[in-house]
Amino acid sequence: MAQRKRALVTGSSRGIGRGIASQLAEDGFDVAVHYYQNKAAAEESLAAIRSRGGDGFLVQADVRDMEQVSNVFRTVKDKFGALDVYVANARPETPEFFYPPLDITPGQWDAAMESQGKAFLISAREAAAMMSKGGRIVAITYATGGRTGGLLPWVAMGCAKATMESLVRYFAVGLAGQGITVNAISPGWTEDSVMNSLPEAAQDLIRNWHRRGWTPMKRLGTPGDIGNAVSLLCSEKAAWITGQVIFADGGASLMSPETPTEIQIG
């Protein structure tokens, strides 16, 4: 029997991270499940991985603390020996950073920037050091938040994700000679994600708007959708794709904000 590959997915105790970890398990990976505070949820993710034929273990860290980030990789090296896939998905909970530019404090700004830009800088280097040719590094971002300004409380995370996307491109060039690819997946609004931390009325507005056509496929994404996108980038056939931001959003990024959706989708 072929040896199973090894992956680390940060923020994989719930939501999109769990969707990614579960899909990788189906693809033949054992997965290190990272969590910050909710150990019970992380154990549920590990159970989901095992139900799909994989195995793994839990690693705990606050991704705003670089020493804790490095400790995660020391544990992964001790348990796995090497790494085939690293997915950077973790972020702080929304109360830590979700404030508009006129109100946000330096500490709240740092929570976003350190957990995305600095943590990705450190973790991508740590991951690459454990990879051989064919390794895959994937960042989960939100590209829209880095190039628009309408969702004011997203200012810190939008800037942080833009930093992460820039790092993806630099690492893609820096690691290309080793046969390691580095890409980003940009989900649209996704169920069981940051959206579910918003007030119920805001969630309903978002769902109804996308069902009316802002997402041409007329639904929100699911963690499984994002897991499938990561799976594609981690396949052997994706070896020639690097330094890219792939939109996994059902076509929402194709819509024009200047034209009513009823006109655009016909």
Query: In the chain, what are the domains?
Result: 5-250 (3.40.50.720)
Contact 31, 24 (CB under 8 A): yes
Per-residue pLDDT of the chain (266 residues; tens, 9 = 90+): 467 899 999 999 999 999 999 999 999 999 999 999 999 999 999 999 999 999 999 999 999 999 999 999 999 999 999 999 999 999 999 899 999 999 999 999 999 999 999 999 999 999 999 999 999 999 999 998 888 999 899 999 999 999 999 999 999 999 999 999 999 999 999 988 888 888 889 888 889 888 888 899 999 999 999 999 999 999 999 999 999 999 999 999 999 988 888 888 76
| Residue 206: how many other CB atoms lie within 10 Å | 15
pLDDT of residue 265: 77
pLDDT reported for residue 193: 82
- DSSP state, residue 116: I
**Facing residues of 9 across strands?**
33, 87
With residues binned 3-state (H G I as helix, E B as strand, rest as coil), the percentages for the chain, rounded to 5, are 50, 15, 35
pLDDT score at 266: 66
